[in-house]
Chains A and B, each alone.
Chain A
Amino acid sequence: GAGVSQTPSNKVTEKGKYVELRCDPISGHTALYWYRQSLGQGPEFLIYFQGTGAADDSGLPNDRFFAVRPEGSVSTLKIQRTERGDSAVYLCASSLMGPNTEAFFGQGTRLTVV
């Protein structure tokens, strides 16, 4: 398919464990965003990549969260020492560069920390 792909779709992990969430954007989309959506809330911004570099990581809640995009396509969101409060749906979106461009979203990864 040509859409944004996120894996896994669901992840259950124990408190304190390390997790990686993957996003495969639409080919050619240089802009990539990670958002987090808690139950009953709208998504909240985490980090934005322009190509390979994180142009804005102001939404990362703390230093347990980190994301990379080494080749400017696939991105991985990494969470260390997971806490129960990290449980949420993590959404990835990609778009072409520039203002007023449509964002395309993946199906999300539902992370549950037990």
Chain B
Amino acid sequence: KNEVEQSPQNLTAQEGEFITINCSYSVGISALHWLQQHPGGGIVSLFMLSSGKKKHGRLIATINIQEKHSSLHITASHPRDSAVYICAVSGGATNKLIFGTGTLLAVQP
């Protein structure tokens, strides 16, 4: 079993829909990260959170430390949101990231 699990693996939505991607982890962490990766592109950090909720534009990230679960929400989705969304956790002396396998999101016009 992977230390970081994401669901769904693939998601197709219509423009304007509300989207939720889930992440569960099984290790102790100091922070959870949501990252975005476009095809052929590098990885961009969206959120880093260790408790509660953060919002940036149409993106919202929440974390429940007790349940070891996080969600990424996208409101009013747009085709430009199409990308791979990756959940990762960090902790320990090195603060290295342990990644989930990603969720491939396609938003259709």
- Judge whether A45 and B96 touch: CB under 8 Å: yes
Q: Is A62 an interface residue (CB 8 A)?
A: no
Count chain A residues whose beta carbon lies closer than 8 angstroms to a beta carbon of B: 29
Binding site for A on B (CB under 8 A): 4, 30-31, 33, 35, 41-45, 48, 50, 86, 88, 90-91, 93-102
Q: Could you say which of A42, A44, A103, A105 has the most chain B C-beta atoms within 10 Å of its C-beta? A: A42
Interface residue from B31, B44, B88 paired with A100 (Cβ < 8 Å): B31
Shortest CB–CB separation between residue A71 and chain B, in angstroms?
Answer: 21
Q: How far is the CA of A111 from the CA of B84 in the complex (A)?
A: 20
Interface residue from A42, A48, A56, A100 paired with B99 (Cβ < 8 Å): A42
> Which chain B residue shows the least CB distance to A91?
B43
Q: Could you say which of A59, A100, A108 has the most chain B C-beta atoms within 10 Å of its C-beta? A: A100
